[in-house]
């Protein structure tokens, strides 16, 4: 979609030109031009998270994170979305990867991302998806920082297919490492539409994989650039009445909602 320089300067918080000459505008979530639409002007969006996250430790840094996710299609309405995701953050910078279910919600998945595969775009459709209580389908996601050039690379699938990278130079806080990691679910949408489903659409009450959305075998690239299982994690939900999360033996994170009881 083309836009004039006046339009870009009005909304953009940061404008990025990639090595191939493409220009992307990064803007604050609540300053997106889409919210000027009459039907969205009076809506408030409050993302809900149910994740396992690294405990606060100023001395701890991460050069990568990966995990295996079960893939579901939670039911969402227009302007809602639900995700199973990995998060890496430092300062105001964040890289978030995983799967997302949405109807008419637009994501800017290309802001600064340089694709290296013409046949697999970063927003490709995952198929097949899991059926609650029956067959569970999984996919793997891994983000890591190249020790030589500092770029952040994205790999997907059991065969570690490289989709592309975010150049180091577009980051401030994530220029050299991440200080925070998380794995779990996110759901968001206008408050007057009710609670969107997260994961399976049910609050987690058991440890059985076949009845839950989960991420498992969470691993990190540590200070020595070794790949090790993540430890020193804690669970967090900013709405634990409706969206639940718990860990099973420090290797699997079960999450979902809303709570219908």
CA distance 197 to 77: 10
What domains does the chain contain, in order, with CATH numbers? Answer: 1-42 (no CATH), 46-256 (2.60.120)
Q: Residue 45's pLDDT is what?
A: 62
Asked whether 97 and 186 are in contact (CB, 8 A), the reply is no
| Cα–Cα distance for residue pair 114/92, rounded to 1 Å | 21
Please name the helix (run of DSSP H) or strand (run of DSSP E) that holds residue 5, with its range, or none.
helix 5-11
What is the pLDDT, as a whole number, of residue 187? Answer: 96
Whether the Cβ atoms of residue 139 and residue 128 lie closer than 8 Å to each other = no
pLDDT tens track, the chain, 261 positions: 333 333 334 444 555 554 445 455 555 555 555 455 444 455 556 799 999 999 999 999 999 999 999 999 999 988 899 999 999 999 999 999 999 998 754 556 657 899 998 888 888 889 999 999 899 999 999 999 999 999 999 999 999 999 999 999 999 999 999 999 999 999 998 888 888 999 999 999 888 888 999 999 999 999 999 999 998 899 999 999 999 999 998 789 999 999 765
DSSP code per residue over 52-69 = EEEPP-TT--BSEEEEEE
pLDDT at 109: 60
> 84, 98 in Cβ contact below 8 A?
yes
Q: How many residues does the chain have?
A: 261
Per-residue confidence (pLDDT) for residue 207, from 0 to 100: 85
Is 245 within 8 Å of 236 (Cβ atoms)?
yes
Residues pairing with 83 in the sheet: 100, 186
pLDDT for res 197: 95
Q: Computed from CA positions of residues 71, 75, 78, 79, in that sequence, does the dihedral angle turn out positive or negative?
A: negative
What pLDDT score was predicted for residue 103?
74
Question: What DSSP state is assigned to residue 125?
Answer: P
């Amino acid at each position: 979609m083309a836009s004039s320089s006046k339009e870009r300067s009005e909304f953009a918080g940061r404008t990025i030109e990639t090595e191939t000459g493409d220009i992307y505008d990064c803007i604050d979530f609540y300053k997106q031009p889409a919210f000027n639409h009459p039907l969205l002007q009076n809506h408030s969006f409050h993302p809900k998270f149910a994740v396992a996250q690294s405990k606060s430790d100023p001395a701890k840094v991460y050069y990568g994170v990966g995990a295996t996710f079960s893939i579901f299609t939670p039911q969402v309405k227009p302007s809602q979305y639900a995700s199973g995701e990995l998060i890496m953050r430092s300062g105001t910078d964040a890289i978030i990867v995983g799967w997302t279910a949405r109807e008419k919600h637009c994501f800017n998945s290309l802001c600064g991302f340089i694709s290296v595969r013409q046949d697999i775009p970063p927003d490709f459709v995952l198929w097949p998806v899991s059926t609650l209580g029956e067959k569970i389908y999984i996919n793997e996601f891994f983000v890591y920082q190249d020790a030589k050039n500092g770029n952040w690379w994205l790999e997907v699938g059991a065969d570690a297919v490289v989709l592309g990278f975010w150049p180091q130079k577009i980051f401030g806080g994530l220029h050299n490492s991440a200080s925070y990691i998380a794995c779990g679910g996110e759901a968001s949408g206008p408050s007057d539409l009710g609670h969107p489903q997260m994961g399976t659409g049910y609050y987690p009450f058991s440890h059985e994989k076949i009845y839950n959305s989960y991420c498992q075998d969470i691993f990190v690239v540590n200070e020595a650039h070794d790949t090790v299982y993540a430890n020193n994690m804690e669970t967090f939900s900013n709405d634990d009445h409706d969206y639940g999360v718990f860990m099973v033996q420090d290797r699997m994170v079960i999450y979902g909602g809303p709570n219908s009881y």
